[in-house]
Amino acid sequence: MSFLAKASSYRYPPRKRDIDSLLNTIEKIYHIRDFDSLLETILYEARRFVNADAGTIYLAVGDRLYFSYVQNDTLFPDGSKEKYLGSNLSIPIDRSSIAGYAALSGESLLIDDVYDIKSNVSFSFNPAFDKKFSYRTQSILVVPLLTRDNALLGVLQLINAKDPSGKVVPFSMQDRLYIAQFAQSAANAIEKAKLSREMVLRLVEVVELRDPYETASHVKRVGAFAVELYDAWCNETHDLRKIYT
């Protein structure tokens, strides 16, 4: 279910989509094992697909959403500065913020102009980022990152869709459909990467407890073996599911 706040009466015609491009992108993220690289790629590919100027990935921890990855072509065009802007900051998962609402309700939000939300809703836009960096957030598309079991991993937020001339325009309903599909696959990839990382960290802890004088190279080899074993197990499980479902 999507929520459309203050929808404009006129929509720009949807840009041409290539379903093969979406499927190839989904296939690409499934092969990324490094957790940070995965988040960066997910946000970049989602933005590229709908031509969004900026975006944020929030990860859910307990009852809060943490700013885990930020990209903004206008403010940080080189892609290196402020990647983890506000990584120690968080917002509550409740109905007061846009991202919090999407996380709590499990609904996507499609907003034409965050400074002109006229509908009778509980959430509002916080202009603190815009004021600090002299930025103008306008259109927003927010999608919760939910696993197959409907567990909340976080929120994907895309900011300021642009037309071919570079003018900021509203996101379309077609954008919402494509990103919602992409977000589901992204959530599954994030879940897999988190499990891999947690397994490695646990094995490293076991090695350190067993022999605190083990070399760093040995610990890394143990971690690499753990990731390979987990990936092999996931692939085998996936193949069995395809056979029996």
The string of pLDDT tens digits covering residues 173-226 is 989 998 999 999 999 999 888 776 655 556 555 655 555 555 555 555 655 566
Q: What is the pLDDT of residues 117-146, one digit of tens each?
A: 977 899 999 999 999 999 999 999 999 999
For position 130, what pLDDT does the model report? 95
Residue 52 has pLDDT above 80, yes or no: yes
The CATH number for 2-190, chosen from 3.30.450.40, 3.30.1360.40, 3.30.565.60, 3.30.450.90, is 3.30.450.40
Q: Higher pLDDT residue, 147 or 227?
A: 147
pTM above 0.85, yes or no: no
Q: For residues 28 and 185, what is the distance between their CA atoms, to the nearest angstrom?
A: 11
Residue 9 has pLDDT above 50, yes or no: no
For position 80, what pLDDT does the model report? 54
**Cα dihedral: 129, 132, 136, 140 (round 10):** -10
Compute how many other C-beta atoms are within 10 angstroms of the C-beta atom of residue 134: 8
Q: Delimit the domains of the chain by residue range.
A: 2-190, 193-244
Structure-block tokens of residue 34: 């490094």
CA angle 188, 60, 223 (to 5 degrees): 60
Within 8 A by CB and 6+ apart from 205, the residues are: none
Q: For residues 111 and 93, what is the distance between their CA atoms, to the nearest angstrom?
A: 19
Q: Higher pLDDT residue, 171 or 212?
A: 171
H or E element, residue 144: strand 140-146
Query: Look-up: residue for tokens 């696959």?
Result: 185
